């Protein structure tokens, strides 16, 4: 009888240890997911007025082996390269070009936003679609481009439907400022 009781206690201890390890594993995965909620998605960027289907994803492992990530293949855009100048002056906010991406199921939303931004004095070099978990409409800026953050903030000030200004993440197409429209854009 004592032997059966010892075996049962060992099994219960092992089950407890297993559940604790499993809980820690889930916690680690949740932390990685919360730290980079925009890490998974597909981008389809196009020329100025046409739209292409979303690009296929290819696997890329930048996180620990327990959290696989997918990095999309991005269709090249027609955005001119902007390089910082040797001078310390920054370009005027409206002079940097924009890329506008539709992250909703509303057809033509990027084209509508393009017309709106252009009527406000901005240059939109391309539009396209994005499939990603973006929380709200955001102007993403390239920190490597002088004046990009100021341009994104000026755009947000001019168009308050842009809720946030953030540094770009890797899955976005090239361009000093990329505006991603979500369901809160009006």
Residue 31 and residue 90 share a domain: no
More confident residue, 28 or 76: 28
pLDDT of residue 92: 56
Residue identified by tokens 């696989």 is 68
pLDDT at 70 over 50: no
pLDDT of residue 3: 79
The vertex-108 CA angle with 134 and 57, nearest 5°, equals: 50
Contact 176, 153 (CB under 8 A): no
pTM of the model: 0.54
CA-CA distance, 40 to 61, in Å (whole number)?
12
What stretches of the chain adopt beta strand conformation (E)? 41-45, 57-60, 69-72, 98-102, 124-132, 138-141, 164-167, 177-181
CA 169 to chain centre: 5
Q: Model confidence at 93, in pLDDT bands (50, 70, 90)?
A: low
Which pair of structure tokens corresponds to residue 94? 């409206």
Residue 17 and residue 92 share a domain: no
Residue 18 and residue 53 share a domain: no
CA-CA distance, 85 to 176, in Å (whole number)?
14
pLDDT at 82 over 50: no
Residues 76-93: what's their mean pLDDT? 46
* Tens of pLDDT, residues 11-30: 888 888 888 888 888 888 77
13-to-6, 24, 139, 146 alpha-carbon distances in Å: 11, 17, 52, 59
Residue 19 and residue 74 share a domain: no
* Tens of pLDDT, residues 110-143: 999 999 999 999 999 999 999 999 999 999 999 9
147-to-15, 75, 88, 97, 155 alpha-carbon distances in Å: 57, 25, 10, 11, 12
Domain for residue 186, yes or no? no
- The residue range of the domain holding 79 is 41-181
* Tens of pLDDT, residues 48-64: 433 344 444 444 444 44
Number of domains in the chain: 2
Residue 45 and residue 31 share a domain: no
Residue 157 and residue 73 share a domain: yes
CA-CA distance, 175 to 164, in Å (whole number)?
17
Close Cβ partners of 77 (under 8 Å, ≥ 6 residues apart): 45, 46, 47, 99, 125, 126, 128, 173, 174, 175
């Amino acid at each position: 009888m004592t032997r059966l009781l010892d075996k049962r206690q060992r099994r219960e201890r092992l089950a407890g240890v297993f559940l604790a390890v499993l809980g820690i594993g889930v916690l680690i995965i949740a932390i990685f997911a919360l730290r980079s909620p925009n890490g998974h998605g597909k981008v389809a960027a196009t020329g100025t007025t046409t739209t292409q289907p979303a690009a296929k994803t290819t696997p890329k492992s930048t996180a620990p082996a327990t959290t696989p990530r997918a990095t999309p293949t991005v269709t090249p855009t027609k955005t001119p390269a902007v390089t910082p100048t040797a001078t310390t002056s920054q370009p005027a906010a409206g002079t940097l070009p924009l890329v506008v991406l539709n992250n909703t199921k509303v057809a033509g939303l990027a084209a509508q936003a393009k017309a709106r931004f252009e009527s406000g004095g901005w240059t939109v070099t391309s539009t396209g679609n994005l499939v990603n978990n973006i929380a709200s409409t955001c102007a993403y800026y390239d920190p490597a481009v002088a004046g990009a953050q100021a341009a994104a903030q000026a755009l947000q000030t001019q168009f308050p439907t842009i809720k946030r200004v953030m540094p770009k993440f890797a899955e976005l197409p090239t361009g000093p400022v990329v505006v991603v429209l979500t369901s809160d854009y009006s």
